[in-house]
């Protein structure tokens, strides 16, 4: 079984739910407390042993290239002011030279298309996909849990799932399972936004995947689906229907969907509450509620 060495981060979406900020600030660069969303997700992948990071970027997304690069003036200033702790942390957060690649999705044609754009860099090996607008708060990290689960399979594909909030299944991709026992189960199908009452399980696809390189051949046909976009779910379903094994992993942790305003606000509060260096968050919220 081939090791999972590479991860794809699709960051080329328009982020219309985060307008007006997303007009000029990439959604993935919006900060949760004091670091951009992409920072959390890269850290999760690094902690899982990923060796090469592929960012699928687009128009207006170049800030991410600068974020993961040296900043000579800033480094010199921090050094001169002896702010060594901050400097060391900034340096530790950087990928090493050659560990990160950027490929441009020339038009935001959908998540499936974004993943397909990484095909030449990924080559013929299984790889991880992480959606940067989902912060997965877990120990060990969600990608680590997913790779551990993958290693228990026969070399199939893995999608991370979690229970859908009551009455919300019609807004998500829902998996169908052979059996629902324990956390890792073989899938028999998946449905994008099922009509209320028709959902095949209570588990939705939540933004982390391990995919086999055959997905690129399926995506080659550039077939559009829901919303006129090239959907990753459609390509996965096609592979599954052709007999390629797919597994759903119900991971152990909490997900923060930062793709809309309320979810992003919730992530800010939750992450700030966990930070020992930021005191008084709870009191600040209580005071604000009374004002």
Can you give the binding site for ligand UTP, defined by CB under 6 A? Answer: 10-17, 27-28, 56, 105, 108-111, 113-114, 131-133, 259
Buried b (16+ CB within 10 A) or exposed e, 43-60: ebbbebebebbbbbbbee
Taking the complex as a whole, how short is the minimal distance between the CB of residue 225 and ligand UTP, in angstroms? 13
Taking the complex as a whole, how short is the minimal distance between the CB of residue 229 and ligand UTP, in angstroms? 7
- Which residue lies nearer to ligand UTP by CB, 133 or 162? 133
- Which residue lies nearer to ligand UTP by CB, 2 or 23? 23
Taking the complex as a whole, how short is the minimal distance between the CB of residue 266 and ligand UTP, in angstroms? 16
In contact, 127 and 8? CB cutoff 8 Å: yes
Closest-approach residue to ligand UTP (CB): 13
Distances from the Cα of 52 to the Cαs of 9, 20, 24, 197, 276, in angstroms? 11, 32, 27, 42, 31
Taking the complex as a whole, how short is the minimal distance between the CB of residue 142 and ligand UTP, in angstroms? 15
Centre a 10 Å sphere on the Cβ of residue 291 and count the other Cβ atoms it contains: 4
- Which residue lies nearer to ligand UTP by CB, 41 or 78? 41
- Which residue lies nearer to ligand UTP by CB, 12 or 169? 12
Taking the complex as a whole, how short is the minimal distance between the CB of residue 223 and ligand UTP, in angstroms? 15
What are the strands, taking DSSP E only, across 62-215? 100-104, 127-130, 134-137, 157-163, 173-177, 184-192, 203-211
In contact, 250 and 183? CB cutoff 8 Å: yes
């Amino acid at each position: 079984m081939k090791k999972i060495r590479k991860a794809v981060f699709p960051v080329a979406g328009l982020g219309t739910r985060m307008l007006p900020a997303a007009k000029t600030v990439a959604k993935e660069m919006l900060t949760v407390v004091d670091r951009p969303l992409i920072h959390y997700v890269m850290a999760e992948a690094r902690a899982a042993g990923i060796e090469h990071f592929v960012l699928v970027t687009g128009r207006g997304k170049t800030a991410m290239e600068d974020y993961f690069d040296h900043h000579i003036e800033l480094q010199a200033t921090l050094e001169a002011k002896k702010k060594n702790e901050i400097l060391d942390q900034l340096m530790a957060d950087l990928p090493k030279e050659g560990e990160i690649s950027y490929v441009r999705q020339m038009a935001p044609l959908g998540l499936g298309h974004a993943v397909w754009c990484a095909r030449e860099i990924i080559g013929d090996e299984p790889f991880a996909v992480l959606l940067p607008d989902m912060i997965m708060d877990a120990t060990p990290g969600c990608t680590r849990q997913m790779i551990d689960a993958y290693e228990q399979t026969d070399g199939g594909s893995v999608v991370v799932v979690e229970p859908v909030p009551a009455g919300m299944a019609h807004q998500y991709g829902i998996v169908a399972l052979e059996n629902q026992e324990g956390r890792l189960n073989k899938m028999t199908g998946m449905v994008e936004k099922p009509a209320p009452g028709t959902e095949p399980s209570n588990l939705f696809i939540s933004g982390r995947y391990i995919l086999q390189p055959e997905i690129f051949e399926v995506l080659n046909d550039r077939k559009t689906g829901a919303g006129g976009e090239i959907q990753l779910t459609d390509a996965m379903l096609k592979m599954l229907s052709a007999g390629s094994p797919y597994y759903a992993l119900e991971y152990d942790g909490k997900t923060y969907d930062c793709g809309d305003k309320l979810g992003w606000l919730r992530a800010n509060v939750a992450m700030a509450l966990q930070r020992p260096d930021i005191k008084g968050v709870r009191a600040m919220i209580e005071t604000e509620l009374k004002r």
